[in-house]
């Protein structure tokens, strides 16, 4: 087991990944789970990549998580009679429900939810924020805007509405079809786009029905406002800095990222930092220094995982990108102040036996030269609580559930071993030591901390801790 880094890597699959052998290379280079981006590709493409991952999982006898990322609503302007127009600062532009091709004075906005939500004084962003409009007047079926930052605008460019909460479900008809397909495939995680409020999580949960774990993408200002409520309702959070960086001032994104990471750690929810982490490696075998620093900062802040998007999905150097990200993670984790930084941000423990034991193992691993922390967990809950403490030693999670093991691939410091006999282990200590040694996480003479629950195998019952030396 390659457990020499604690921060996980989530890599997106796409046309650059051509077969199972390529996926195996990425796993051996440090990828822990894979993303299927349903904004692109056909169902058959995703099914093939899913099967490749499961093939590698069986070959390596190592749980690998698979996340499906739903596209969410795509808000766009209509078409122009000449394909594009040039907007000039200070001019007026009408956005209306008329499907007739537009010109420099008006264009179709086929989203009545946007027109209903907008009020005079609010801003609209077009084409990933390259153009900015300000609403000056509102009518029943249109809004009149002033161009604040102009430029070329062409057919079907995207619209962002940062200052309004739209009465719009995050799940389109396409998303619902994709979700049904992904759940039938057997994905482990579902990433929900366009989250604006806690009710969006409730809606998605009802559709998923417990068949997968739910990750909320924070990419809207309203989601930032309701962050804690949203985080409590889902299983993990993704800091989706792409759309978030369009809808809030760019200089605010680093602070928001820190706030999200801190909130998720306090709540014990894994958090993924995503978008443009090593973007230049799509076309270059080496990253920029700024990108290296960006990844390093996410690791130092305590993120559970960092994500690669187009870098591995469609880039020229997917393997080199993963290798570079792994190097950055290890470099930060092996730094003299990494552990002390994590300890400073340690969350407040809850008054439970599980948290008391988790706090104890963090403290023990800072005092003794502990090789591994071995945790028996049916549901993964106690492993997640241990991960929340960010202990110095890696966490070996022993579970009879492959579903649990795949869920934990996104969580900081946890590496899982699945075995059906773990449901009925009588010699807890000897079995833990045996597996730790077999996985290469501990060798003779080294100290191992073991946590489990009595009665054994009952979820949520972790209540014992042992310190053992491997003989």
Which entry of 145, 263, 275, 321 is annotated as an active-site residue? 275
**Mean pLDDT score across all residues of the chain:** 95
| 114 and 45 inside one domain | no
What would the two tokens of residue 345 be?
Answer: 């941000």
> Which of 226, 174, 232 has the alpha carbon at shortest distance from 195?
226
Q: Is residue 455 predicted with pLDDT exceeding 70?
A: no
Q: pLDDT at position 460, please?
A: 60
| CATH code for the domain in which residue 438 is found | 3.40.1380.20
pLDDT band for 421, please (50, 70, 90 cuts). confident
Residue 464 CA to residue 468 CA, distance in Å, equals 13
| 292 and 228 inside one domain | yes
| CATH code for the domain in which residue 112 is found | 2.40.33.10
Position 284 in a domain:
yes
| 264 and 394 inside one domain | no
| 230 and 370 inside one domain | no
Q: Looking at 333, 365, 388, which one is the last position of a domain?
A: 333
pLDDT band for 416, please (50, 70, 90 cuts). very high
Which entry of 5, 6, 8, 35 is annotated as an active-site residue? 35
Residue 434 CA to residue 432 CA, distance in Å, equals 5
Position 341 in a domain:
no
| 302 and 383 inside one domain | no
Position 340 in a domain:
no
Q: Quick check: helix, strand or coil at residue 452? A: strand
Q: Is residue 346 predicted with pLDDT exceeding 90?
A: no
Determine whether 282 is an active site residue. Answer: no
| 268 and 311 inside one domain | yes
Position 79 in a domain:
no
Region 201-229: mean pLDDT is 97
Q: pLDDT at position 422, please?
A: 79
Q: Is residue 402 predicted with pLDDT exceeding 70?
A: yes
359-374 residue pLDDT tens: 999 999 999 999 999 9
11-48 residue pLDDT tens: 999 999 999 999 999 999 999 999 999 999 999 999 99
Say if residues 91 and 100 touch (Cβ distance below 8 Å). Answer: no
Please return the burial class of 53, using the count of CB atoms within 10 Å of its CB with bins 0-12, 13-18 and 19+. Answer: buried
Q: Quick check: helix, strand or coil at residue 243? A: helix
170-186 residue pLDDT tens: 999 999 999 999 999 99
Q: Is residue 348 predicted with pLDDT exceeding 90?
A: no
| 141 and 179 inside one domain | no
Determine whether 217 is an active site residue. Answer: yes
Position 20 in a domain:
yes
- DSSP assignment of 95-131 equals EES--S-B-SSEEE---HHHHHH--TT-EEEETTTTE
Position 166 in a domain:
no
| 234 and 361 inside one domain | no
| 264 and 404 inside one domain | no
Total of domains in the chain = 3
SS3 content of the chain, % helix, strand, coil (to 5): 40, 25, 35
Q: Is residue 457 predicted with pLDDT exceeding 70?
A: no
Q: pLDDT at position 433, please?
A: 94
Scan for tokens 């001019």, then name that residue.
91
| 290 and 268 inside one domain | yes
Question: Residue 333 to residues 175, 327, 338: CA-CA distances in angstroms?
Answer: 38, 10, 6
Which entry of 217, 269, 362, 385 is annotated as an active-site residue? 217
Domain that holds residue 151: 84-160
| 329 and 188 inside one domain | yes
Region 109-123: mean pLDDT is 96
Which entry of 76, 138, 197, 205 is annotated as an active-site residue? 76
Region 183-194: mean pLDDT is 98
For residue 7, the tally of other CB atoms under 10 A from its CB is 25
Determine whether 35 is an active site residue. Answer: yes
Q: Quick check: helix, strand or coil at residue 62? A: coil
Position 2 in a domain:
no
Q: Looking at 140, 160, 180, which one is the last position of a domain?
A: 160
| 62 and 115 inside one domain | no
For residue 1, the tally of other CB atoms under 10 A from its CB is 17
> Is the pTM for the entire model greater than 0.85?
yes
Q: pLDDT at position 181, please?
A: 98
């Amino acid at each position: 087991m390659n457990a020499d880094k604690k921060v996980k890597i989530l890599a997106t699959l796409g046309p650059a990944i051509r077969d199972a052998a390529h996926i195996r290379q990425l796993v051996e280079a440090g990828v822990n789970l894979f993303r299927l981006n349903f904004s692109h590709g056909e169902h058959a493409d995703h099914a093939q990549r899913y099967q490749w991952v499961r093939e590698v999982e069986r070959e390596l006898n190592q749980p690998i998580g698979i996340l499906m990322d739903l596209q969410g609503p795509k808000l766009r302007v209509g078409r122009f009679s000449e394909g594009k127009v040039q907007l000039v600062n200070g001019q007026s532009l009408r956005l209306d429900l008329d499907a007739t091709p537009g010109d420099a004075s008006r264009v179709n906005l086929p989203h009545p939810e946007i027109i209903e939500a907008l009020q005079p004084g609010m801003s609209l962003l077009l084409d990933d924020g390259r153009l900015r409009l300000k609403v000056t007047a509102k009518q029943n079926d249109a809004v009149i805007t002033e161009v604040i930052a102009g430029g070329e605008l062409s057919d079907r460019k995207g619209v962002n509405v940062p200052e309004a909460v739209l009465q719009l479900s995050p799940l389109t008809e396409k998303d619902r079809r994709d979700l049904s397909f992904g759940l039938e495939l057997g994905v482990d995680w579902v990433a929900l786009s366009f989250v604006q409020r806690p009710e969006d999580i409730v809606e998605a949960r009802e559709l998923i029905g417990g068949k997968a774990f739910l990750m909320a993408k924070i990419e809207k200002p309203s989601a930032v406002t309701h962050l804690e409520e949203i985080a409590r309702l889902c299983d993990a959070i993704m800091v989706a800095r792409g759309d978030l960086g369009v809808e809030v001032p760019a200089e605010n994104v680093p602070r928001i990222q820190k706030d999200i990471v801190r909130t998720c750690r306090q709540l014990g929810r894994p958090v993924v930092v995503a978008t443009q982490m090593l973007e230049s490696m799509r076309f270059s075998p080496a990253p920029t220094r700024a990108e290296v620093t960006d990844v390093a900062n996410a690791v130092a802040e305590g993120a559970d995982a960092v994500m690669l998007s187009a870098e591995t999905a469609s880039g020229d150097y997917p393997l080199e990108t993963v290798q570079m990200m792994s190097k950055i993670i290890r470099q930060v984790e092996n730094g003299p102040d990494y552990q002390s930084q994590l300890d400073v941000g340690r969350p407040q423990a809850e008054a439970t036996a599980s948290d008391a034991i988790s706090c104890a193992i963090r403290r023990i691993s800072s005092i003794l030269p502990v090789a591994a922390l071995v945790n028996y967990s049916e549901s993964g809950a106690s492993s997640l609580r241990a991960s929340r403490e960010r202990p110095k030693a890696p966490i070996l999670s022993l579970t009879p559930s492959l579903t649990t093991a795949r869920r934990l691939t996104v969580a900081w410091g946890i590496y899982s071993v699945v075995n059906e006999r773990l449901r009925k282990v009588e010699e807890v200590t000897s079995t833990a030591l045996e597996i730790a040694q077999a996985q290469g996480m501990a060798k003779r003479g080294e100290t191992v901390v073991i946590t489990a629950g009595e009665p054994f195998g009952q979820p949520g019952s972790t209540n014992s801790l042992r310190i053992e030396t491997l003989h």
